[in-house]
Amino acid sequence: MNLIRPAIIGGLILTFLISLAAYPVFPDQIISHWNAAGEPDGTMEKPAGIGLVPLITAALAALLLCLPRIDPPRKNYAAFRDWYDGFILAFVLFMLAVLMFVKSPDTILAESS
């Protein structure tokens, strides 16, 4: 059995769970943009700031998983399906790492002070 797809789903679930667990710790306004000098110049409300990474990850993973079904030469995907699914898993794990960095206690405390 191919374990890549369940790992993708597990990674997506983990991104949502981490965001939900971190929700109470974050301030009401979350910094979302920095200028060229590294100074914050944009903020967003807490629900949008917390949910953005998991939603983008889920949307892109869903698009990549559905792409072989809607692409006309879909038979070409069969030859490298494991590699394709591995790429999706790598993307989800990368976004999970970004999420862990952004939502780490040190980062949260630095933003709050």
- Region of 38 (left: φ > 0; alpha: ψ -120 to 50; beta: rest) is left
Rounded distance between C-alpha atoms, residue 78 and residue 81, angstroms: 5
C-beta separation of 24 from 50 below 8 A: no
Rounded distance between C-alpha atoms, residue 26 and residue 66, angstroms: 34
100, burial (CB in 10 Å: exposed 0-12, middle 13-18, buried 19+): middle
Taken as a whole, the chain contains a residue count of 113
Give residue 55's pLDDT: 94
Q: Output the pTM of the full model.
A: 0.75
Residue closest to 12 by CA, chosen among 72, 80, 63: 63
Q: How far from the centroid of its chain's Cα atoms is residue 111's Cα?
A: 20
Token readout for 79 is: 């030859």
The pLDDT tens digits of the residues spanning 91-109 come to: 999 998 888 877 665 555 5
The pLDDT tens digits of the residues spanning 22-51 come to: 888 888 888 888 889 888 888 889 898 888
Q: How many CB atoms lie within 10 A of CB 34?
A: 11
Give residue 33's pLDDT: 82
